[in-house]
Every structure is written in structure tokens, then in C-alpha cells.
Amino acid sequence: MTKLAQWLWALALLGSAWAALTLGALDLPSSCREVLWPLPAYLLVSAGCYALATVGYRVATFHDCEDAARELQSQIQEARADLSRRGMRF
């Protein structure tokens, strides 16, 4: 079975369970019902929050190498000077 088919199966199963419970298949207390019906929206919002937090965290902890960056810049300047001395125009 392809990954798409697996995802669609899982979505269909969970979606039908949610729909059945929201429309009253079992007798649930009203507070449980109130938690149940916004659940799909809640899962989407939490997935979005998790994605945002992951992106933010990895931006904040990215391994910058400042010394290597400076060294690279100076090597670029050196190369440009050398090449323009030999006649190449930028």
C-alpha cells in the first residue's frame, strides 16, 4: 500500500470516528462533547505551532562559523585582486 493510501485510510478512520462521536453515537457528558468537536482544528493548530517552533529553534541554534566566514571573505578579496591584476574585468 502506498504512503498516500495509508494516510488516507488513517484520515478516513479517525475522521469517521470523530464524526460518529460528534453526532451522538455514544452518550458522552456535555463537557467531553465540547472538547471533542473542535479537535480537528486543534490538531491542525498544534501541528502548525510545532512546525513554527521547530523552525525557530533550528534558526536560533544554527552553527555559525564566524572565523571561517571572515577567512573566506578575505580569500575572495585576495582572489579578486589577483585576477584583476592579471587583466580579468568583473
Partner 1 sequence: MATGTDQVVGLGLVAVSLIIFIYYTAWVILLPFIDSQHVIHKYFLPRAYAVAIPLAAGLLLLLFVGRPPYGAYQGRATQDLCRHCSPSSMAALQTPLGMKLFRTHPD
Residues in contact with partner 1 by CB under 8 A are 31-32, 34-35, 38-39, 41-42, 44-46, 49-50, 52-53, 55-64, 66
In angstroms, what is the minimal distance from the CB of 63 to partner 1?
7
CA distance readout (Å), 71 to 19, 31, 48, 83: 61, 63, 39, 18
In angstroms, what is the minimal distance from the CB of 15 to partner 1?
15
In angstroms, what is the minimal distance from the CB of 3 to partner 1?
22
∠ CA 54-35-44, rounded to 5°: 30
